Structure 1
Amino acid sequence: MYSIYSHNGKSSAMDRSLRKSGSKQVHRIPKGTGLITIALAFLAMSAGFAQEKENIGTETVDVVRPYKANISDAFKVRDVPALDDSTLLKKKKIQYSIFSVPVASTFVPAKGKVSGVERKKRDMLYNTYVSLGLGNYSTALLDFYTSRAISKDESFDIGLNHHSAQGQLDEMELDTKFFDTRLDASYSNAGRFYRWGVNGEFRHQIYNWYGLPEEAGFDQAEINSIDERQTYYTASVGGNIEAIDESVFTGAELTLRRFWDAHDSGENRLVFNPSFQFPVGQELITAKIFADYVGGEFDRGYFTNDKIKYGNLLLGVNPNLLIDGEDFSISLGASVFYGMDIENDDNDVYIYPQVKASYRLVEEFVTVYGGVEGGLDQNSYYDLVQDNFFVSPTLGITPTDRQYDAYVGMKGKLSSTVGYNVKGSYRSENNKPLFRANAVNVSGNEGQGYVYGNSFGVVYDDVTTYSAFGELHADIDRNLTLGVNAQISGYDADNEQEAWNLPVVQGSFFGDYQIGAHWFAGANLFFVGKRKDLYTPGSLLGGDPRVVTLDSYFDVNARAGYRFNDQLSVFVKANNIANNQYTRWMNYQVQGFQILGGVTYKFDM
């Protein structure tokens, strides 16, 4: 091994150690030789650079694997320094002593009170109540209800309702009395897996065809010979079942009803509607089954003595896929119906959309919604009578084909106490029933009290309806509730001259106020716009039919009461406060100002 270093002429310790160990001899370079050697090396390098540059060409370098910088993991040093000073581990024992000196003081601390929430006294619950009222026009009102617990899971309920007025309207020639009494009972059972019940009802109603047209000019003798009374009877039984826990079968309803009148008309109706659900992943499919039969007969037609028989069976299914998200809800489905006209041996299949959706734009304040729905709606003599008590027992009964009802709207809250709902809709219906006044048809039918132009028939037409609806509802506090709504509609009938007796504008207002612990009050107001009907004099009187416009009307009602205790209270009701002598149906004037007072009593049986 050779070394180049400066030498001072003395042997170093390393030299002495090498000699002693017997290693190879180290040859020293004479003094000054190192500098000469460095100079020669520098000259050689300079000559190399001075030579002509040679073309060494180009080389291609293929990078097979790109460079990846790796940073090794960092590890936290967890060593705990050892403390050898044993004095740090010892705690010094400290002793405290109290030197008590009495001090004169007049301060006396007040005892603390527990702050509690004021609890409202719970109302006593009773299983029975009865309410009785009497008023002008010899009006009587009775409302009775009782609920008896048979066991922990069973109960039996009975209800009785009566409303009648035996007073006579001064402007009317015929009897204007009415009578409506209903008795119903039900049994319910809440089992382990299902809630089920059965119910029954009997109803007795009496009304009079008192709306004689003034244009007919009947003399007093003919008027005295008219038997204007009509009596309706209803008897029904039914049952329902509902699954408590989630299952494929969710519930069902069954109703069997018999409806008949004093003019030998009769109708039977059977409705059975089971429902099911099927979970599919995170979504849910529901299915409703419809089975609806109505059949009956009328003793005669309005212009003939032939019986009118009818029978309609509707079978349908409505599957829906329910999709619920955090801010939206969608229901996608359709309804398929098979309709059978049994009397005319006719049938058809109908398919309708069932699509609904809603989306919450602003939590609690703005929710937009829309949908397109349709269906095959069963009409019946019973339902038409409840809409208009003055129809003649000579009707044609057929289902309504509701092709579609498309709507879009927005609902939510304007504030914490005020809610709103606005909606626009467009609906198309085939065979929509319209009430229209019957023609005067006295000749040969003197024994019938409804042939003097004082009853209504039903005509069916294809009607398109477009409407705008809006409502506000305010819960000011626990004691005051207010609400108002309005609807504007337009109609387009294919065959009829007008959409008979359908109002263009209608609206209502209501309010309820609890005044302290004892007083309560409320009010409601109805407005119905103008409607159109048709007066037909008939062949005996002669003349052409003419359209009659019925005036719009207000109906203002109010009520108030005083509660003595949990059991006893009194009330007073005032109806048609403005004493508006309006006509709900053509030639049918309503009662004027009405006042009724009564008492309500609750107790246990």
Structure 2
Amino acid sequence: MSKKIQLLSILFLGISSVAFSQIKEEKLILNKKREPEVKKIEKKKTSVEVIKNYPPEEKSQNPVQYDITDVPAVSDFKTSTIQSEDVAPKLTAAVQNNYVQFGMGNYGKILGDLNISKTLQNKIEVGADAHMISTQGLKKEYAWDSKQSATTLGAFLNSYGDKGKFNLNAEYGLNSYNYYGIYALELGDVDLDQRVNQFKVNGYYDFYSNEILNDVRVKSSFLKDHFDAQENQGSILANFSKHAVELSKSGIVMNADLGVDLETVQTDFMIRDQNSASFFNTNLAPKLTFAKGESYLMVGSSFTFLNAKNSNLVMAEQMKSNTTYWFPKAEFQVAAAKEFKFYGGVDGGLKLNTYSDLLQENPFLVSDQMLKPTETKYHFYIGLRGDIDETFKYDVSAGYGKMKDIMFFKANDLFDNNFTLNRSAYNFANTFSAVYDDGNVSDIKGSLQYFPLENLVLDGEINFMRYDLENYNHIYNVPLLTGSIGAKYTMLEKKLSLGFKGIFASDRTTNSYTIEGVANPTMMYQSTEDTDDKVGGYADLNLSAEYKVHKNFSIFALGNNLLSSKYQTYKGYKVLGAQILGGVKITF
């Protein structure tokens, strides 16, 4: 490629980073998944021809794309949440394993990242992960501590057999942070500590041939936090299938699938109302797919059987229920050409809202939650997608659904009105609780990828979600509009990788409290709730660069929130301003 084109490409990245600013809430991936992403597994045939010494060497070693991805230096760490999305560029798959990297930046940010793996002679791969990131927080914004850190330690094993691939991984994670979002009271140095420990063990077996038994996966999780909340989860999922059954000489084939899923969750809280929840969920999902070329019709159902138990200090006895659900499943696609594929369908389902999942969305929850499953009774959608000359891919869709017990987060008041600052870390109107309401949801989604040059990739997405609730006037802490735009560019024979990602979100409504002391003989706090407060929208700009000095040595630099927007994703929790981080990576 000529120098002129290179200069124009770099100029494009610079201009786009300013023009598009930002689009979606940052979510830094610190936890590595040692389990394959199901969406990336495409099995075209159910059965295979019986050949001596099957499977061949190359298939036995790479039957599934396992997600052993590098987490380059942190991209979007912010004080308001440890979860964020990695926007740093990756060079080649060859550097994803066996590396160590270290970085430092402003706000006292420190990054450590390690991955080691070894393939033994018997086709067993063993390895280990270690990831750590920390920041001193916003010392100039708050008189109290707002530091955070996250650490993940893991080990994994992959075994390649004659009939399939087995994966086993164990992971320990520790998130340590503070409930620093105090906006209604003035206070000095107090202990606002929260720590969440979680240990996971997952197993997965995937058959090279998806004849009858396709794959089996087992998951387990054990969580405990600083306030003695405990949650234990376990699940087993088996997928049965019979694919590529020819129905006619015209090319119509049928695929039959049956998913069987068993899931159990037990959650116990030790403070406030001491809520307790227990769920045992069984799900059967049969479906038939009739396909010809890239056009298809899928029809199916989902049958769910839920056993639920809830109790707390207020209840005189434990509430029990056994409920059976039926959800529709259907989808069609009409492929007029690879550039234009019209699709639509209907789906539904039951989602168990666990404490672990809630903390991923909002780590500033009080350790006492009423947990309910969210039911999507139905969700209709239509869309158009396509691939134009293998340089432009797009997918646009719109949907409408009816839901029961939609979960969102509501800000908590003081839990008592005693006129004192000698309070628990969660008792300053600085925490949130899950609340539920029934209603309808309308959504519009769009995503695209553009490959103008061999070494330049552009992508973007936008999401519009509108909720019409029965009891609440607004859905709290959910933006109406989110989106992102990104670019990845490599040059100098792929020695230099540049990355850009802008994310944005519109205003979100929340509730909040004004608290004042009442001068009377008893002296107490009195609070007033605002049910239509606003947490402003934001635009956040992120740039990254990595230069491969040697095949085993790289240097990197990252700039996050370069517009220095001190926005809030939850009331009171400001994020870090402009951040610069640099470091080195060694691969071996």
TM-score under structure 1 length normalisation: 0.75
Query: Which residue, 381, 393, 397 being the options, matches 2:355?
Result: 381
CA contact (8 A) 1:127 1:148 kept: no
**C-alpha contact 2:417 2:526 (8 A) present in aligned 1:** no
Residue 382 of structure 1 aligns to a residue whose secondary structure is: helix
1 or 2 for the larger relative contact order (CA 8 Å, sep ≥6)? 2
Q: Does 1:150 pair with 2:120?
A: yes
Runs of 4+ in structure 1 over 3 Å off = 122-127, 278-282, 442-447, 536-539
Residue type at the aligned position of 1:133: G
Residues 123 and 566, structure 1, Cα contact 8 Å, conserved in 2: no
CA distance, structure 1, for counterparts of residue 305 and residue 134 of structure 2: 42
Residue in structure 1 matched with residue 535 of structure 2 by the alignment: 550
Find the aligned partners of 2:482 and 2:360 in 1 and give their Cα distance: 20
Q: Distance in 2 between matches of 1:490 and 1:387?
A: 19
Once residues 308 and 198 of structure 1 are traced to their aligned partners in structure 2, the CA distance between those partners, rounded to angstroms, is 33
The CA deviation at 1:477 is: 2.4
Match of 2:200 among 230, 236, 261: 236
Q: Could you tell me how far apart the structure 2 residues matched to 1:473 and 1:438 are?
A: 41
Which residue does 1:165 correspond to in 2? 135
CA shift in 2, pair 1:266/1:524, >3 Å: same
What does 1:389-538 align with in structure 2 at a 5 Å threshold? 389-443=363-417, 446-517=422-493, 518-537=495-514
Write the mapping of 1:94-133 to structure 2, written as runs, cut at 5 A: 127-133=97-103
When residues 123 and 270 of structure 1 are mapped into structure 2, their CA distance, relative to the original with a 3 A threshold, is closer
> Distance in 1 between the 2:513 and 2:440 partners?
25
Which has the larger Rg? Answer: 1
Shift of 1:357: 1.4
Q: What letter matches 1:274 in structure 2? A: A
8 Å CA contact 1:479, 1:515 repeated in 2: yes
Q: Output one character per residue of 1:346-378: Cα deviation in whole Å (capped at 9) or x when no partner.
A: 11100001111111112x211111111111111
2:296 is the alignment partner of 1:311: no
> Which position in structure 2 is the counterpart of 1:66?
none
Of residues 302, 305, 325, the one that matches 1:350 is: 325
Distance 1:152 1:500 in 2: 54
Shift of 1:443: 3.6
Q: Which letter maps to 2:384?
A: M
Give how far 1:138 is off.
0.7
Q: Which runs of structure 2 are paired with 1:231-310 in the superposition (5 Å)?
A: 231-278=195-242, 282=247, 283-301=254-272, 306-310=273-277
**2:257 is matched by which residue type in structure 1?**
T
Counterpart contact for 2:185–2:428, Cα < 8 Å: no
Of 537, 540, 549 in structure 1, the residue corresponding to residue 525 of structure 2 is 540
The alignment yields a C-alpha RMSD, in angstroms, of 1.9
Deviation at 1:125, TM superposition (A): 6.3
In 2: Cα distance, 1:405 partner to 1:529 partner: 24
The structure carrying a bigger strand percent of its residues is: 2
Q: 1:308 to 1:197 in 2, by over 3 A?
A: same
Residues 127 and 350 of structure 1, relative CA distance in 2, 3 Å threshold: closer
Contact 2:383 2:397 in 1 (8 A): yes
Instruction: Report the residue type matching 1:295 in the other structure.
Output: Q
In 2, the alpha carbon distance for the partners of 1:138 and 1:281 equals 62
CA 1:198–1:439 in structure 2 vs 1: closer, same or farther (change >3 Å)? same
**Matches of 1:124 and 1:579, distance apart in 2:** 35
Q: 1:537 offset after TM fit, Å?
A: 4.4
**Given residue 519 of structure 1, which amino acid in structure 2 is its aligned partner?**
L
| Structure 2 residue identity aligned to 1:132 | F
Gap change, CA 1:139 and 1:544, over 3 Å in 2? closer
For 1:399 and 1:316, locate their aligned partners in 2 and report how far apart those are by CA, in whole Å: 14
Deviation at 1:127, TM superposition (A): 4.8
| Offset, 1:440 | 2.1
CA distance in 1: counterparts of 2:529 and 2:574, whole angstroms: 24
Indicate the residue corresponding to 1:591 in structure 2.
576
Aligned length: 471
**Matches for 1:155-194 after TM superposition, within 5 Å:** 155-194=125-164
One-letter amino acid matched to 1:527: F
Find the partner of 2:306 among 339, 352, 373.
339
- In the other structure, the counterpart of 1:69 is none
Q: CA deviation at 1:414?
A: 4.1
Code of the aligned partner of 1:326: G
Structure 1 unaligned blocks of 5 or more: 1-121
* Sequence identity (%): 25
The 3-state SS of whatever aligns with 1:350 is: strand
Do the aligned partners of residues 415 and 124 (structure 1) sit closer, same or farther apart at CA in structure 2, a change above 3 Å counting?
closer
Question: Alignment partner of 1:236: what SS?
Answer: strand
Q: CA deviation at 1:327?
A: 3.8
- In 1: Cα distance, 2:143 partner to 2:336 partner: 60
CA distance in 1, matches of 2:540, 2:242: 49
CA distance in 1 between partners of 2:214 and 2:447 (Å): 33
Per the TM alignment, residue 542 of structure 1 is displaced from its structure 2 partner at its CA by: 3.4
1:404 positional shift: 1.5
User: Distance between the aligned counterparts of 1:387 and 1:495, measured in 2?
Assistant: 23
Q: Provide, for residues 468-493 of structure 1, a one-character-per-residue CA deviation record: whole Å limited to 9, x for no partner.
A: 12222111222100012212222111
Shift of the alpha carbon at 1:427? 2.3
Q: How far apart, CA to CA, are the structure 2 residues paired with 1:309 and 1:328?
A: 48
**1:493-518 deviation line (CA, Å, top 9, x unaligned):** 11122111111111111000002222
1:447-478 Cα distance to aligned partner (Å, 9 max, x none): 42111111111101113211212222111222
Q: CA deviation at 1:281?
A: 5.4
